[in-house]
Structure 1
Amino acid sequence: MKFYSTNNKSHKVSLKEAVIKGLAPDQGLYMPEQIPPLSADFIAQLPNLSFQEIGYEVIGALFGEDLSSDHIKELVNHTLTFDAPLVKVEDGVYTLELFHGPTLAFKDFGARFCSKLMNLLVSNEKVRVLVATSGDTGSAVANGFYKVPNVEVIILYPSGKVSTLQEKQFTTLGENITALEVDGVFDDCQQMVKQAFLDKDLNARMLLTSANSINIARWIPQCLYYFYAYSRLPKGQGKVVFSVPSGNFGNIAAGMLAERMGLPIDHFVAATNVNKIVPDFLKGVPFRPRPSLQTISNSMDVGNPSNFYRLLDLYGDESNLKERVKGYFFDDATTREAMAEVKAATGYLMEPHGAVAYLGLKTFREEHGGYTGVFLETAHPGKFGDVVEAVHQQKVELPERLAAFFKGQKKSQLIANDYEEFKDYLLSK
């Protein structure tokens, strides 16, 4: 299958080029030339299939022209080594727990898939993976690519704007993982990465790629857990809405890809913190990137979400997108209140990003009756221990593999918010 740029549908490349380049030369994001429809029989059989069996079918439909069936199985088996349980929180409301992987965040799925796919596509070439992170992407990619041969990972993150544990997860590994601490915000990090990909001089000297959700190898596999979540809902649940905590909007775009392939999702909720560019757009305000604001749900502190253009592409135009997706935003005080209220009423412990998604789902269901709702919990509460413990006045027990990161020593290099300094660093490697 070919992949085209969201900025120019006539610009088409192979799977390998789309994965290795990450971003199109015109700064567009790559999209599959065709979205293959899955059969009604497959959708009906979902409750009887394992996570891996679902993965074989979905990834086979998307990549079957480029990868052998053995490679597809190898890719899926490498990715889906942990569960994504669907947990009932209250009547008609379920959460999809996506934090049971190595770094206890949803991005483990995409990072593991991406590292394995690059391993299959690239032979002996030295690849440098550039990553901008507002938190969980850095830890997932660092751990997903850790010690992968012929791959060097360089992570840019905003100084002082990720949680201590998130920072520890990608600054303590060493080996082929390097962390650059940028004097700026996430959008500055993302802009430097994009600029590097478009720098002809730099790309002539080294092979650069991305493991952010702009890369199809990070983005596409996230659609798998939407199929899995739907398959685990009780029979006769009626109309289904998914509420997704959204920052760079790759996660919700993956859900829309699943829906476009035939998964019967009736509606989506894009739930954000006060970085509300997309909720504003869905209510009729022109899309205008703006400086990001710092919040307790820091992984969503994004003022210029790259995957917005995938949303438009998947639904064809603005009117269809606005018809299928509702956007809501919530401030930190409201988020804290929701965390406390849900814990008191149900015993379920949410972290800030999941709480924002819960609020979005709650608001949608109050406005629209008859929906069964699923909200995504994208990280373990322990990853945001300071916030969670302050809300509940109790200590959050960390899983051992998470607590182990605190024992590592931070290794990072502080750089200015300056592309030329970043380029000089890359050329010195």
Structure 2
Amino acid sequence: MKYYSTNKNATLASLEEAVVKGLASDKGLYMPEHIHPLDQKMIRNLKNMSFHEIACSVAQAFFGEDITSETLDKIVKETLSFETPVVAVENNIYSLELFHGPTLAFKDVGARFMARLLGYFIQKQGIKEVNVLVATSGDTGSAVANGFLGVEGIHVYVLYPKGKVSPIQECQFTTLGQNITALEIDGTFDDCQALVKSAFMDDELNHHMMLTSANSINVARFLPQSFYYFNAYAQLDRIDKADELVVCVPSGNFGNITAGLFAHRMGLPVKRFIAANNRNDVFLEYLNTGIYRPRPSVATIANAMDVGDPSNFARILDLYGNNEETHRIITNLISGDRFTDEEIAEAIRRVYKQTDYLLDPHGACGYLALEKGLNENETGVFLETAHPAKFKDTVDRILEKEIEIPAKLQAFMKGTKQSVPLKKDFTAFKTYLLSR
């Protein structure tokens, strides 16, 4: 399988090259030349398969041309040491709980898969060290840091916006040490992401050190996230709730919903998608007007979605032709909605009081969009992307009570913060990396 750039001005890359490089030379994102559909007989049989079996089948369709079945099976097995259950909330609305991994966030799947795939490739090539740059608005940094912790030949630099991630999220990537370095940037997530992209384009830096990204711009990070869409369908099919399925995705950098759209292209029977936004609603504006107008992000209580220029928008456009018909095709499949901090908080209070189900701020956006937009005969599933305790201060304040912190998170909070403060200008960032 070859991978091309969304900007169409870079040479085709192998999977190995796409994973190790992260970003194409023309600043575009890599896309697979072909998306192989799964056999419809297999789709109907998903309900009889385990999560591991489902993931192996999907991974084979993406990566089977480039990796042996034995190696791929081993990588998937090491990635999936946890479940992603579907839980009924009320009526025909279900939560897909993606917070049962090591850092209690949905990005654990993609981060762990990429760490093992990248480790396999650098060992195969005999590369001494690869330096992973990752910008985070919250959960990406913790998932990547823990997924890559202790992996030989890889050093991770996590760039995060000062004061704009939750304290528990910060603990998950600033207390690890070893091959993980946290860089506290005096700016926004978009500033962090811009620094990462600029680093890839800087010849001097790339001559000094081998760089790649573990954000969802890397194909090895976002493609494995399609696994749990298939697993969610299988669980709903077991209880005869998979027909007329609507999937709602809390959306920030749009890697997650892009993985769902890839699953749909592979044959997963999803009727339509909803992209749930907070106040950072550039995608909703695109759906309504056909115009994409990126702008600086604003801080909200759903901080992992505070993205004003989502990278994976380019992949969505490319997936549907990037031509005069693209907007029509996208709006036929994807709708959008946006919610304020006040609406998010009210939903967390109301749902907890009425059903005893505890939403996190991001999942609350997804729940609200389904509650508002689900038709009578449809089944809706929203992605509950992180455990509510990762946003403990916010959720405690909303509920006016102390929520319990899981043991996994308590362990991170016992560590000592280790981070390097940096300004948001590229010169300071480059100087730091050149000193390493």
Structure 1 length as normaliser, TM-score?
A: 0.98
What is the aligned partner in structure 2 of residue 165 from structure 1? 168
- Structure 1 residues 9, 270: CA separation in 2 closer, same or farther (over 3 Å shift)? farther
1:237 and 1:184 map into 2 onto residues whose CA distance is 43
2:230 and 2:320 map into 1 onto residues whose CA distance is 19
- Kindly indicate whether residue 421 of structure 2 is the aligned counterpart of residue 421 of structure 1: no
- Structure 1 residues 287, 397: CA separation in 2 closer, same or farther (over 3 Å shift)? same
- Kindly indicate whether residue 400 of structure 2 is the aligned counterpart of residue 400 of structure 1: no
1:305 and 1:224 map into 2 onto residues whose CA distance is 22
**Deviations along 1:233-282, whole A, 9 cap, x unmatched?**
02154200100000000000000000000000110000010000001110
- Kindly indicate whether residue 350 of structure 2 is the aligned counterpart of residue 341 of structure 1: yes
Equivalent AA in structure 1 for residue 365 of structure 2:
V
Alignment counterpart, residue 130 of structure 2, candidates 109, 127, 135: 127
Alignment counterpart, residue 279 of structure 1, candidates 264, 284, 306: 284
1:266 and 1:375 map into 2 onto residues whose CA distance is 14
What is the aligned partner in structure 2 of residue 74 from structure 1? 74
What is the aligned partner in structure 2 of residue 139 from structure 1? 142
- 3-state SS, counterpart of residue 376 of structure 1: strand
1:397 and 1:102 map into 2 onto residues whose CA distance is 17
How far apart are residue 369 of structure 1 and its match? 3.6
Work out whether residues 289 and 303 of structure 1, in 8 Å CA contact, stay in contact via their aligned partners in 2: yes
**Deviations along 1:340-399, whole A, 9 cap, x unmatched?**
11111111000100000111111211xx44210000000001000111111112211111
Alignment counterpart, residue 307 of structure 1, candidates 306, 312, 321: 312
2:243 and 2:158 map into 1 onto residues whose CA distance is 43
Equivalent AA in structure 1 for residue 369 of structure 2:
G
How far apart are residue 121 of structure 1 and its match? 0.8
**Deviations along 1:58-95, whole A, 9 cap, x unmatched?**
10111111000101101110111101010001111100
The correspondence of residues 16-95 of structure 1 with structure 2, limited to 5 A, is 16-95=16-95
1:55 and 1:413 map into 2 onto residues whose CA distance is 37
**Deviations along 1:166-207, whole A, 9 cap, x unmatched?**
001000000110011011000000000000011122112211
2:347 and 2:107 map into 1 onto residues whose CA distance is 24
2:435 and 2:297 map into 1 onto residues whose CA distance is 31
Equivalent AA in structure 1 for residue 307 of structure 2:
V
The correspondence of residues 187-336 of structure 1 with structure 2, limited to 5 A, is 187-233=190-236, 234-235=239-240, 237-316=242-321, 317-336=326-345
The correspondence of residues 378-397 of structure 1 with structure 2, limited to 5 A, is 378-397=385-404
- 3-state SS, counterpart of residue 12 of structure 2: strand
**Deviations along 1:206-243, whole A, 9 cap, x unmatched?**
11000000000100000000000000002154200100
Q: Which moved more, 1:204-213 or 1:307-316?
A: 307-316
- 3-state SS, counterpart of residue 283 of structure 1: helix
- 3-state SS, counterpart of residue 122 of structure 1: helix
Equivalent AA in structure 2 for residue 341 of structure 1:
R
2:38 and 2:91 map into 1 onto residues whose CA distance is 30
Alignment counterpart, residue 158 of structure 2, candidates 141, 146, 155: 155
Percent identity among equivalent residues?
54
1:303 and 1:361 map into 2 onto residues whose CA distance is 23
How far apart are residue 313 of structure 1 and its match? 1.6
**Deviations along 1:83-130, whole A, 9 cap, x unmatched?**
101000111110000000000000100110000000111123210000
What is the aligned partner in structure 1 of residue 188 from structure 2? 185
Work out whether residues 113 and 220 of structure 2, in 8 Å CA contact, stay in contact via their aligned partners in 1: yes
2:287 and 2:14 map into 1 onto residues whose CA distance is 33
Work out whether residues 260 and 314 of structure 1, in 8 Å CA contact, stay in contact via their aligned partners in 2: no
**Where do 4+ consecutive residues of structure 1 move more than 4 Å?**
none
- Structure 1 residues 112, 236: CA separation in 2 closer, same or farther (over 3 Å shift)? closer
- Kindly indicate whether residue 171 of structure 2 is the aligned counterpart of residue 174 of structure 1: no
2:378 and 2:318 map into 1 onto residues whose CA distance is 26
Work out whether residues 241 and 379 of structure 2, in 8 Å CA contact, stay in contact via their aligned partners in 1: no
Work out whether residues 55 and 76 of structure 1, in 8 Å CA contact, stay in contact via their aligned partners in 2: yes
- 3-state SS, counterpart of residue 129 of structure 1: strand
Structure 2 length as normaliser, TM-score?
A: 0.96
1:337 and 1:355 map into 2 onto residues whose CA distance is 9
2:197 and 2:88 map into 1 onto residues whose CA distance is 40
- Kindly indicate whether residue 366 of structure 2 is the aligned counterpart of residue 357 of structure 1: yes
Q: Which moved more, 1:108-117 or 1:199-208?
A: 199-208
- 3-state SS, counterpart of residue 265 of structure 1: coil
1:400 and 1:339 map into 2 onto residues whose CA distance is 23
- 3-state SS, counterpart of residue 243 of structure 1: strand
How far apart are residue 285 of structure 1 and its match? 5.0
